[in-house]
Amino acid sequence: MYKTDITDRDWIIYDILGNIGWILYYIGLILFWKRAGSSPWSFLFVVELLCAVGILIGLLELIDERIRKLDRILPKSRLYRGFGLITWASCLGAAAALVQLLKGPKAIAPVIMMAAGGALCFYFCRLLLVRYKKIEE
């Protein structure tokens, strides 16, 4: 089992900024899909989609944790399926968006939204993840 000692104030700040990040990432992904012009099914776009699925799975896990009222005490599997998956999927998504940006996409604004959203989500979700410590039994 893992427990966090994070204050409510810090939790709310990290949570809000992380939520802004994944929302921005999804909006950028949808806009990129609509404005891509040429084939949106490039390798990088498929990576972006897989990252979006990973973030969604992590979000569903975190919602389930809240519903079950686990109160910041999580088993290892839930910790990594929630915060861990969001952290790595958003990091990979931001990196793929930066590579996409270097390729010179036709729709630059959505790619910047994906990169910024992924980076925000990664940073603040990681801050929450690292604050969980193993409970000594």
Q: What is the CATH number of the domain that holds 73?
A: 1.20.120
pLDDT of residue 41: 64
Mean pLDDT of the chain: 88
Note the pTM of the prediction, 2 decimals. Answer: 0.87
Q: How many domains does one find in the chain?
A: 1
pLDDT of residue 124: 92
Contact between 58 and 128 (Cβ < 8 Å): no
Nearest CA to 112 among 29, 16, 14? 29
- Is the pLDDT at 3 greater than 80? The verdict is yes
In which domain, by residue range, is 38 found? 2-134
